[in-house]
């Protein structure tokens, strides 16, 4: 089974949703730079406060900080595999990740690229809710089962993310085009890139990802 994965795609492509489904189905630890940084913010660390302001503007946190956080996380939690949600975002980050994995004497199994249209991105971002406690992501439509939407896993509050503002989204999409798109070529040359149509419902997308993880299909 493939247990070392990166999930890539534009904001709103479903990376967080699929990462959550992967860890629940296969037990592979999952994280993202955003999740690590939000924990720093919740703990009230200087790093958390500083990076929260950067993210709210729609800017990217420096590669140096991200790489250090990722390497620390891998040493603590990555021994039995990992799923990175939206990391790496830049070519230098991808190269740094390969160096980290080489030092840890392991390798990347899959780079899964969720391809979505810009309209899908805008629709999803407009209706996205996230658990303030565990980070579970859902939509306003799916959360209408309660007068006060709560997480189905930990009963935490489902709220709008600060960086889901449409003006911020446009900046994030521009960053994605210029800084993240080159990773398709980077991982393509390594023969581990698999493209999946992320415009479909989450269960259909997850079915395709599951077959990749289980080594039963190619994309």
CA distances (Å), origin 219, targets 36, 110, 121:
30, 11, 22
Q: How far apart are CA 58 and CA 171, in angstroms?
A: 6
Q: Catalytic residue numbers?
A: 15, 89, 128, 161, 172
The single-letter DSSP state of residue 197 is E
CA-closest candidate to residue 139, choices 54, 17, 28: 17
Query: Which residue, chain included where needed, has tokens 């840890």?
Result: 104
* Residue 21, token pair as written in the block: 């489904």
């Amino acid at each position: 089974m493939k247990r070392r994965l990166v999930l890539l795609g534009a904001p709103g492509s479903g990376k967080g949703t699929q990462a959550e489904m992967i860890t629940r189905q296969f037990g592979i630890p999952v994280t993202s730079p955003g999740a690590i940084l939000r924990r720093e913010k919740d703990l009230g660390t200087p790093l958390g406060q500083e990076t929260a302001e950067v993210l709210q503007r729609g800017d990217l946190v420096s590669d140096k900080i991200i790489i250090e956080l990722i390497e620390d996380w891998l040493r603590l939690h990555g021994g039995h595999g990992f799923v990175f949600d939206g990391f790496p975002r830049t070519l230098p980050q991808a190269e740094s990740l390969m160096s980290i994995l080489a030092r840890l004497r392991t390798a990347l199994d899959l780079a899964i690229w969720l391809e979505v249209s810009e309209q899908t991105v805008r629709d999803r971002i407009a209706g996205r809710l996230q658990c303030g406690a565990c980070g579970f992501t859902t939509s306003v439509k799916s959360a209408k089962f309660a007068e006060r939407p709560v997480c189905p896993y930990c009963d935490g509050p489902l709220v709008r993310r600060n960086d889901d503002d449409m003006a911020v989204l446009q900046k994030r999409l521009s960053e994605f085009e210029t800084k993240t798109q080159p990773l398709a070529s980077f991982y393509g040359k390594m023969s581990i890139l698999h493209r999946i149509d992320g415009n479909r419902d989450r269960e259909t997308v997850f079915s395709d990802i599951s077959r990749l993880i289980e080594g039963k299909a190619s994309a």
